[in-house]
């Protein structure tokens, strides 16, 4: 049997090759993380509380935070015990000078819900 390396020779990469590839990958990863971290978030929202009022109504309270006086559209929904959506509502939050605002939304449901969920809050077009 013939040794192929003696017949064709071997090609060796320089010793700096893999450390250079790793360094480039680390720099690209840090740059991407910084880019994502410093993106402006025009609207931040979070579910503050929900209250199951009765078999056909849920009250949901949201905190809406926006650095600029933007008009915002928020969508919330209510879920039943089997995770089915039993009510949904989209509301318009007008622009205001206050950065943080707590809003209350009443959602009509087709049957008893067990939770209220914030789907999204985004700047209104």
Please give the pLDDT value at position 56: 95
Measured CA to CA, the distance from residue 25 to residue 43 in angstroms comes to 32
Domains in the chain, start-ordered, CATH in brackets? 4-37 (no CATH), 44-123 (2.60.40)
Please give the pLDDT value at position 1: 63
pTM over 0.75: no
H or E element at residue 121 = strand 115-123
Mean pLDDT value of segment 49-74: 92
Q: How far is CA 69 from CA 27, 37, 96, 99, 103, in A?
A: 37, 22, 5, 7, 15
Please give the pLDDT value at position 36: 79
Please give the full DSSP string across 49-100, using - where no structure is assigned: EEEEEETTEEEEEEEEE-SS---EEEEEEEE-TTS-EEEEEEEEE---S-SE
- Minimal CA–CA distance to 78: which of 66, 65, 87? 87
The tens digit of pLDDT for each residue in 15-32 reads 899 999 999 999 999 999
The tens digit of pLDDT for each residue in 73-107 reads 999 999 999 999 999 999 999 888 888 999 999 99
**CA 21 from chain center: how many Å?**
32
């Amino acid at each position: 049997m013939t040794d192929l390396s003696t017949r064709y020779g071997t090609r060796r990469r320089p010793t700096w090759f893999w450390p250079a590839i790793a360094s480039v990958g680390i720099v690209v990863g840090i740059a991407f993380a910084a880019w994502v971290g410093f993106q402006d978030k025009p609207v931040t929202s979070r579910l503050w509380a929900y209250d199951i009022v009765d078999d056909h109504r849920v009250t949901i309270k949201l905190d809406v935070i926006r650095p600029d006086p933007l008009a915002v559209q928020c969508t919330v929904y209510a879920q039943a015990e089997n995770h089915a959506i039993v009510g949904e509502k989209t509301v318009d939050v007008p622009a205001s000078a206050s950065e943080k605002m707590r809003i209350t939304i009443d959602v009509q449901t087709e049957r008893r819900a067990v939770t209220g969920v914030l789907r999204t809050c985004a700047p209104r077009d």
